Amino acid sequence: MTGNSNKLLAVLATYKPAPWRGRYSLSRLFFNFYLLVMGSFVAIAIFADFVISTAVKGITDDYTSRFMRGTVLLIEDELFRRPRSEWPKAIEALDRKFAYKLSIVDRWTLNLPPIQAARLDSGELAIDVQGDIIYHRLKQTPQILVVGPISPERNPEYPRGIPLDLRISLLTWSLIGVCLAIVVWLWVHPVWRDLEAMRQTARALGEGLFEARAPSMRSSAFRPLAETLNGMAERIQRLIATQKELSSAISHELRTPIARLRFALEILADTPEPCERERLWRTMEADLDELDGLIDSSLTYARFEREQPELDLTAVEIAPWLEEQVEASRMLARRLELRVDHSTLPPLLRVELDLKSMPYAITNLLRNAIKYAKTRIIVSAEVLGDQIQVHVDDDGIGIPVDERERVFSAFTRLDRSRDRATGGYGLGLAIARLVLEQHGGNASAAASPLGGARFTLSWPLSQNVTES
């Protein structure tokens, strides 16, 4: 099993994700987005034109009928001044005078929509589907006067070319396309630049460069994404640093008790005296307890550093809760005077805290004070502004000013605490600070009125805090 684990670790140690070799193309992004926008715009315009044309067709046909009615009636009067045999010649003569074609056809040759056919048979003007040819029945005769096509583009006598309306449409759509291309470019270019910057950052993070950060985004749409990416990178970097720190520190801390255990076992094998063997057993038990405490403290610190859990805040009456925490540690104090002073607190003050994590902070401060106090320890609490502060004072040797911040770093022990009997593992104060940071507060060190060290836990009084 150990051999397989070593092989797996060797594989993971040498594994490095292959970087993505693709390339984002600004031109491709621009053209794809431009075609999407332009195609959507054209489709909407064509649909809107169809809807509008359909809606106003009746109005247009009615306008055309009223506009051409006088001309049609004049042509009809001109024809009826002559015999019907001369109508073809008369139509040819009139046709040369008009800008549109005139002709006479039999009624049965026409295939009109039912509505227009009914209009034609009732003596009114009928219009074809395109709205460009007008039909009129000549005074109860079976012959129909055909006027049109009215538009020059459909008149075969006019020279062929690009119709005027088509030329205007092409020019209009060309200008729209150019203007839209400029707008799309002005929008796509900063977006592409931000995407490329985030891609480079993600690629660097994938290659293990966890100090890489996404630059400031120019597009407001990508700022939250960049902030999330940077936050993720910082979190990963901190977790990896914590893992390395824990691995290095735990490896160092484990050596001493393991060496003592090995030494005691070697001596135990060659020691026949019962008293000496019992002493060695007690020594090994103490070393095992030390190993167990180190592992437990390390796992607790790693959990608080890694998880950042959602707090389950509960309103508790602070004075009895402090008494309860102190009583739990009173056996460790031995002959030390350990008391709680909550005389400065408002009566029956309730505060909100997490009942699972906050005891870690109080207990670790008490254990630290018990290690260094000479005769007494006082736990007190007070309300300062919108903060609740809990102080743990001892009459020990205190902490130098320049060391008061460093003591909250993991695996930090000051020179005066290197003795294994009092030194601990340097994790208690680090755990206390992590717990308070999760509560939105802080843990700090200062000089104690008793002459030793004062450790203070401070966190906000929430809006739900009430005084009974």
User: pLDDT tens for residues 78-134?
Assistant: 778 888 787 888 788 877 777 677 888 887 878 887 877 787 777 788 877 777 788
Confidence of residue 285 (pLDDT cuts 50, 70, 90): confident
Catalytic residue among 136, 252, 342, 439: 252
Contact 387, 458 (CB under 8 A): yes
Give the right CATH number for 310-460 from 3.40.50.2300, 3.20.20.80, 3.30.565.10, 1.10.540.10: 3.30.565.10
Of 76-80, 115-119, 161-165, 442-446, least confident by mean pLDDT is: 161-165
Confidence of residue 11 (pLDDT cuts 50, 70, 90): very low
**Percentage above 70 pLDDT, the chain:** 76
Clarify whether 252 is annotated catalytic. Answer: yes
* Residue in 435, 303, 298, 423 with CA at minimum distance from that of residue 367: 423
Report the alpha-carbon distance of residue 286 to residue 282 in Å, rounded.
6
Backbone angles phi, psi at 456, to 5 degrees: -120, 130
Only one residue has tokens 């802080």, namely 442
- Give the contacts of 452 (CB within 8 A, at least 6 positions apart): 369, 372, 373, 374, 393, 394, 395, 396, 397, 398
- What integer pLDDT is reported at residue 8 of this predicted model? 40
* Residue boundaries of the structural domains of the chain: 27-160, 310-460
Of 58-67, 252-261, 376-385, 393-402, least confident by mean pLDDT is: 58-67
* Residue in 197, 231, 228 with CA at minimum distance from that of residue 214: 197
Report the alpha-carbon distance of residue 268 to residue 281 in Å, rounded.
8
Q: What is the pTM of this model?
A: 0.46
Contact 349, 383 (CB under 8 A): yes
Indicate whether 304 pLDDT > 60: yes
Backbone angles phi, psi at 83, to 5 degrees: -65, 155
- Joined together, the tokens standing for residue 110 give 């026409």
Query: What's the pLDDT tens digit per position in 246-257?
Result: 666 666 566 767
Contact 301, 246 (CB under 8 A): yes
